[in-house]
Chains A and B, each alone.
Chain A
């Protein structure tokens, strides 16, 4: 149980990218409105200049580099690990990638992914033979 609880705090450890140390998958909330997808990600310890966001071919990648926080002395209680954050998402919705905006405040990343102008549904006429 204790082991499970520890892992749950930040989700699973990702193995996608071998970075210098352990990488964690950040917890996210995603809200969809008619105009956009809004993603909130917990990136504690990441400064705004240290977050790298990429959106390519419907794949969103978030990589947050944590500022090292060296500890002196001995651990008395260690309930979580410190490392960079990395996570990718596949988004099937058409996103206007030029209009993506992001802000990082108090360790929370807010990402606005505006939807592309809706493609009008085409009417398909079925011919009779």
Chain B
């Protein structure tokens, strides 16, 4: 059996592991079974998302390594609700022992409310090297308008 050491974070891991166990116990008591994700989602929404805007677009980015666009459902509803849905599958391992398992797997559904309305039918998404980028053009009304000041 190989021994892998993760110094100096072993201590931190132990702490996080303890916390996870406590959370698991808590959910067990509440009968929250079949929670689709492993511990990272117990404390954080998955996937983490960055959102930014410029004059014309709102951009959203998420890291989804190992996933393809066909594994994802991305849509905008109500003009400002961005929804990302999918399932990250764990690697197929027929034999062997897991020595370490840190990567999260399972189904997820994340909804983010955008501060401005966007053109739902013009939303574009691309996935490159496990990074999802979504470009959402702002509705005309949401774009800054240049106001011409007439000379009196």
Asked, given contacts A28-B102, A42-B65, whether A106 binds B51 with beta carbons under 8 Å apart, the answer is: no
The CA-CA distance from A80 to B49 in the complex, in Å, is 7
* A11 & B61 in contact (Cβ 8 Å cutoff): no
* B2 & A32 in contact (Cβ 8 Å cutoff): yes
Chain B interface residue number, banded: 35 or more
Q: Please tell me the number of chain A residues within 8 Å of chain B, measured between CB atoms.
A: 47
Closest-CB distance, B93 to chain A (whole angstroms):
5
Task: List residues of chain A with CB within 8 A of the CB of B147.
Answer: none
A4, A8, A67: residue with the most chain B Cβ atoms closer than 10 Å: A8
B32 within 8 Å of A (CB atoms): no
Which residues of B are interface residues toward A (Cβ below 8 A)?
A: 1-7, 9, 12, 16, 40, 43-45, 48-55, 58-59, 61, 63-68, 90-91, 93, 95-104, 112, 114-115, 127-131, 133
Which residues of A are interface residues toward B (Cβ below 8 A)?
A: 1, 4-6, 8-9, 11-12, 25, 27-33, 37-38, 40, 42-47, 67, 69, 71-80, 89-93, 105-108, 110
